[in-house]
Structure 1
């Protein structure tokens, strides 16, 4: 068996980012063979990641990257905010975003994407390895890639990387488009325009309004009732529709009133970290202790 030196351990740590004791054990198991040691660490990482797979990863960060005529938005999740600001986590999110743009994965599903080879390994294996290194479940939740060759676009990424926005348009003044991206981040619209609202959503809001206004509608003519109900429904929907929203920087105007005759908003997307994921509630002390244990 080859004698394992400090230099061997140092070299393998630099190559894998694994812990000191794990590296030493891997070299011992592999009898000093570097390739076998790396394979052992990788397999151990996959096993450890599998144990963490049932955990809830509802924290994390949003990544936005644009290059030439493409722009990508991506959500990478972790279990805690501590890991979400870790350099390894941030670097991985940036590298994956770059990879998506370079390989044009616009038409691929997330499942297909996870199975692709990135830097010598499947992306799923990369995520498993990162899970082991950081001691928390890491999850690539979603991404969207846009080709903006014939359009304008603006992006907004909140300072804490928890909310990200891409808005695509034509003939909209640059600063205004930037303001609209911030509007989307702050006001969280669901639809671009009234025509984008599904009929079942309109019908649902109509039923809710009629029920809520039951006492107000009593004794009033049918045409007056319809006006009252429509007014309430329009108010509710206007908060959900970007073009109908009141501009946050000037509440005397709606977004659509800011657009010139030839200007048009084409589409938008808004990501918020963890939205729709049921989070496990932990107090701050427990979260800190969890981080300490993960580092031991």
Structure 2
């Protein structure tokens, strides 16, 4: 069968693969476009497998939301350049929407879900993207909020994503709180979440920092001094105790009370956090190869 330009064009539109790859796939499969699609998927998976061991610590966080349901997905690439590539961005946005629509509870469930083209899974689409962008691409993390409370999400520059859930209040307030969490990264939402061992350790540190003169004070006074210092530390590490980023005259707790709301919780993702990145020292490598190091 003759491999016409229109046939190659149709396969390109369906697969997103390059012209030469499409022509080869059609040639290998006697012009059968469905068989050529399957061929491209299989070769894409092979390419993806070869790149799977590479560190992928760049990429983006994507958000999808509808009412009280919202989801964040982290999709990683090897370089920031690919993380901004149109094909990569479109894929990341699509998988966030699929995660929301399907109710996928984790990454494995998301990988098995049907991709937006209806003819492949998310995992197959990921493998095809690897072949297209030439880098390892990974679906790393997924967090979601699924309830009847006030929910909002915020993504800063594709690098940091936050979901916030409130009882009461408005979606606008929840989004403002999400912006605060993105900027300030509080470890805990409220004082009741701060672990007892953290508080005990901080008390130990504060006591060690005190002078002998302070330590000689009556026990009840010493306890008040230590308690005051711990209260300040707890405010620093909790969302509700921090000055609100959008109005630093008030704490987040004061803003919530003013709006008749309370924090249920938040989820925050930052691209690549926890991944050990490989830092290339190109100058040292050149010196070494030149026999100068």
Considering the TM-score relative to the shorter chain, is it more than 0.5?
yes
The CA deviation at 1:214 is 7.4
1:281 to 252, 270, 279: 279
State yes or no: 1:156 paired with 2:154: yes
Q: For residues 215-268 of structure 1, give each alpha carbon's deviation from its aligned partner in whole angstroms, at most 9, with x where no partner exists.
A: 786655555554444444333332220001122344343211223374212111
Residue 187 of structure 2: aligned partner? 190
DSSP 3-state at the match of 2:274: coil
Unaligned runs of 5+ in 1: 286-296
Cα distance, 1:10 vs structure 2: 2.3
SS at match of 1:121: coil
Provide Cα deviations, 1:93-127, integer angstroms capped at 9, x if missing partner: 2222222222222xx33223323343232322221
Tell me which residue corresponds to 1:134. Answer: 133
Equivalent in the alignment of 1:264: 262
Q: Secondary structure of the residue that 1:267 maps to in structure 2?
A: strand
- Superposition TM-score, scaled by structure 1 size: 0.83
Distance 2:247 2:280 in 1: 39
Task: Say whether residues 1:200 and 2:197 are aligned partners.
Answer: yes
Deviations 1:14-61 (A, max 9, x none): 221212222222222223332222222211111111111111111111
How many residue pairs are counted as aligned between the two chains? 280
Matched ranges for 1:213-292 at <5 A: 213=210, 219=216, 222-260=219-257, 262-282=260-280
Q: Secondary structure at the match of 1:167?
A: strand
Task: Give the conservation status (yes or no) of the 8 Å contact 2:65–2:153.
Answer: no
Secondary structure in 1 aligned to 2:199?
helix
Question: So what's the TM-score if we normalise by structure 2?
Answer: 0.83
Give the alignment's Cα RMSD to 1 decimal.
2.7
- After TM superposition, the structure 1 stretch with the greater mean CA deviation from structure 2, 210-219 or 179-188, is 210-219
The equivalent residue for 1:33 is 32
How far apart in 1 are the matches of 2:175 and 2:112?
36
Distance 1:56 1:21 in 2: 28
Cα distance in 2, alignment partners of residues 213 and 7 from structure 1: 80
Judge conservation of contact 1:172–1:260 (CA < 8 Å) in 2.
no
Q: What SS is found at the alignment partner of 1:260?
A: helix
